């Protein structure tokens, strides 16, 4: 009986050691999911800004009005609208260091461990037909 009690008491630290081994991998996984979510949010915001600018210009507004409308409704983005004879082309990109835009800078990384040495900006382009 004493041998069984001795074996049981010698395994007390096993779960702590296993937890210490698994914790870094678990944290990397959770932080990676969070960072991916931030990147996806920024990509969706930038494409929404381009879509809003193109839609507003296709509805008969000027280029300047469409750009201002898109940037006000999707803050943190820079929108450029071009109207030609048959279509409207709106391009959007994230503003540097904005909360909506995705901009990773190695000197001030927004991300935890997926940050790169070069800055990465989210961009989107939308083309709509004029009617």
Q: What is the pLDDT of residues 57-110, one digit of tens each?
A: 888 888 999 999 988 888 878 888 988 888 899 998 877 655 444 454 445 444
pLDDT given for residue 5 in this prediction: 62
**Higher confidence at residue 8 or residue 69?**
69
The pLDDT of residue 43 is: 82
Name every residue whose Cβ is closer than 8 Å to that of residue 106 and which is 6 or more positions away in sequence.
Answer: 115, 116, 117, 118, 119
Q: What is the pLDDT of residue 25?
A: 92
3-state SS assignment for residue 99: coil
pTM comes to 0.68
Cα–Cα dist 47/45, whole Å? 6
């Amino acid at each position: 009986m004493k041998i069984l009690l001795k074996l049981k008491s010698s395994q007390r630290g096993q779960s702590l050691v296993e937890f210490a081994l698994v914790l870094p991998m678990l944290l990397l996984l959770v932080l990676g999911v969070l960072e991916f979510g931030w990147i996806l949010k920024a990509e969706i915001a930038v494409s929404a800004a381009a879509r809003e600018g193109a839609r507003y210009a296709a509805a008969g507004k000027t280029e300047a009005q469409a750009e201002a409308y898109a940037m006000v409704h999707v803050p943190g983005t820079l929108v450029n609208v071009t109207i030609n004879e048959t279509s409207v082309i709106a391009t959007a990109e994230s503003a540097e260091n904005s909360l909506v835009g995705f901009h990773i800078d190695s000197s001030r990384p927004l991300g935890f461990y997926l940050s790169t040495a070069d800055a990465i900006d989210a961009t989107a382009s939308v083309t709509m037909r004029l009617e």
